[in-house]
Structure 1
Amino acid sequence: MQKFFVLVLFGVLLFSCKPYQNTKIRKNQITYEDFRGDQRLYPTDGGLVKYIDKGKGPAIVLLHGVPTSGWLYRKMIDPLVDRGYRVIVPDMLGYGSSDSPEGFELYNAENHAKRLLQLMESLGIEKWSHVMHDAGGLWTWELIKQNPNKIEKLIVLNTIIYEDGFYPPVRMKPGGMAKTAMWAYRNGVTTNTLLKKLFEEGLKENTLNVLDVEGYKTPLLEGKTDAMYYFFSQTCNELPDYSDVFKNIDIPVSVIWGIHDTMLQWPPQENRVARALKINPEDIHFVDEKHFIQETKAKEISYKILDFLSK
């Protein structure tokens, strides 16, 4: 009898917890297979990094966070390309289509930043505008620390800046429990549960369909969890302080923030951020969403980014 209940529980976890609510496919909706088909590859010391390089003109980088990938920006790429920009969208090592080698410190902010700088150098891009989200902020602050002269304009989307306002959905201690959780994520045991919780907390209303979720779920089932393990068991517990880096930032900065975000809250840090990054009040914008603003507000965000870049 006990074995029966265990099997039932496993079945519930595996099949009944769908991370999407909408079954309707949108017209001309991109599939994850098509998205991957547009990606190129760059070999790094840690492994292959996949990225999209589309369009001509001034370069703009769209940088994801955890546990997402460049797929998060799929709805924003063409609008920016159509307005004359060269759009670079990387999957950082350990995420999306990029390699996920075994290791620990290769997933720290310093190494993520170093690899991104190397990628941009390989593309012959000396300077660029830069959009980041979530943990992409940490990798960006580290990039600026390593080379402060690369980013011309900075756009902040619900990004990790200070401990104030940082309430991650998961914090883990390094070790067996965390590793077991990662095993369950990549083996289909709790993959749907993780994604459903993520979208419930990260969107006012989960309107994603099966094709949307495919781009988030596939990398997990392919085993892309080592970078997540580092972030949730290390970074979340010892958030770096980049206050000294902020003092030396002397470029235009814009904030576009989902004001209902519970994971990265704006009010506890708004005055401190505005002062530290020297942001003009007219360059701070709020959108009616939670954390994953690129999913439901892609057009609005794109317009605001284009307006800021045109100044």
Structure 2
Amino acid sequence: MQFLRTPDDRFDTLVDYPFDPNYVEVDDTDGGALRVHYLDEGPKEAAPVLLMHGEPTWSYLYRHMIPPLVAASHRVIAPDLVGFGKSDKPAARSDYTYQRHVDWMSDVVGQLDLKEVTLFAQDWGGLIGLRLVAAMPTRFARLVIGNTALPTGDQPMGPEFAAWREYSQTAEPFDAGRIVFGGTTSKISPDEIAAYNAPYPDASYQAGARQFPMLVPDSPDDPAAAPNRAAWQVLRGLDLPVLTAFGADDKIMAGVEKVFQKLMPGAAGQDHVVLPGAAHFLQEDVGPELARRINAFIAVT
């Protein structure tokens, strides 16, 4: 598999990102290997909080949440999905499949031997992360779900998602930083916009960012539809504690939290929240408050 690797100097002047890089190699499923970047902060002996980002962000999204989580004595793992951040970026859009991303992140979790994991998953972090939980439920202790879904293609995704998908395929240039800006309520600064664009020196690095919206199952016969249905069968039988924390201003994901609250047994009786002043990228809008709620959830479950 041909891939690109973003030069390190693209990340030299990031704002509020003082974290050391860590890397692991995963099987690219095509006879080679890909380097995956992850953050690993806090005491290594502590049970990990796994923070999974989505489209078109990377672990920079969690820079305001990591310090309060570490201050509460948690180990924090924040990987960059393949194709994003400091991770390698396969060059062809056809290299990106939903199943490969599940396999790659499963490999990361296995190599790091993460156990008693608290998962926080947003956007594609949920589409991938919830598949990890279904595949290896004994590694997870609790779930915090924010502004994400696990679609099976049996229900329409809605006009807002259709508009986003169309934009993602036609926008020139594909400006990740401006997309994050548009998906926040508080709005990010020019330096933060630049940080979200740092992984992409030019459009050739954006195959994953362009392809991800096309991988969301939107019909019952989508290649990912059956695996997601199977994942739901597992998730509906788990008693792991589940907390939903969605942004009140996220139009695409509005109301999806009720699906998790209804279908996942461990969601019963939890202190679910829809956070005011938070849009799709709620980590940017209310990161410290979200971290506080995760800390409190861990403390009581």
TM bin, normalised by shorter chain, reads: 0.7 to 0.9
The C-alpha deviation readout for 1:150-203, integer Å capped at 9, x for no partner, is 211100011123456663352259xxx94xx47x4xxxxx244x6435422x22
In the alignment, is the contact (CA less than 8 A) between 2:53 and 2:59 conserved in 1?
A: yes
Larger mean CA deviation between 251-260 and 158-167 belongs to: 158-167
Aligned to 1:170: 164
| CA spacing shift, 1:50–1:36, aligned 2, 3 Å | farther
Question: Residue 196 in 1 paired to residue 178 in 2?
Answer: yes
CA distance in 2, matches of 1:256, 1:271: 11
Q: 1:160 pairs with 149, 154, 157, which one?
A: 149
Aligned to 2:136: 147
Aligned to 2:268: 280
Aligned to 1:45: 27
In the alignment, is the contact (CA less than 8 A) between 2:156 and 2:218 conserved in 1?
A: no
CA distance in 2, matches of 1:31, 1:280: 44
Aligned to 2:191: 211
Larger radius of gyration: 1
Q: What is the letter of the counterpart of residue 274 of structure 1?
A: Q
In the alignment, is the contact (CA less than 8 A) between 1:58 and 1:84 conserved in 2?
A: no
Q: Give the root-mean-square deviation of aligned CA atoms.
A: 2.7
Q: Could you tell me how far 1:298 is from its partner in structure 2?
A: 1.1
Q: Aligned with 2:37: secondary structure?
A: strand
Q: Aligned with 1:170: secondary structure?
A: helix
Name stretches of at least 5 consecutive residues in structure 1 with no aligned partner. 1-29, 185-189
Name stretches of at least 5 consecutive residues in structure 2 with no aligned partner. 1-11, 29-33
User: What are the residue-to-residue correspondences of 1:213-228 with 2, within 5 Å?
Assistant: 213-222=193-202, 223-228=204-209
| CA spacing shift, 1:198–1:52, aligned 2, 3 Å | closer
Q: Could you tell me how far 1:38 is from its partner in structure 2?
A: 1.3
CA distance in 1, matches of 2:247, 2:233: 26
| CA spacing shift, 1:142–1:107, aligned 2, 3 Å | farther
Q: Aligned with 1:159: secondary structure?
A: coil
CA distance in 1, matches of 2:22, 2:257: 38
Report the identity percentage.
Answer: 24
Q: What is the letter of the counterpart of residue 195 of structure 2?
A: G
Q: Could you tell me how far 1:45 is from its partner in structure 2?
A: 1.9
CA distance in 1, matches of 2:205, 2:239: 36
Instruction: Give TM-score scaled by structure 1 length.
Output: 0.76
Total equivalences in the alignment: 266
Question: Residue 94 in 1 paired to residue 83 in 2?
Answer: yes
Q: Aligned with 1:282: secondary structure?
A: coil
| CA spacing shift, 1:298–1:31, aligned 2, 3 Å | farther
Instruction: Give TM-score scaled by structure 2 length.
Output: 0.79
Q: Could you tell me how far 1:217 is from its partner in structure 2?
A: 1.1
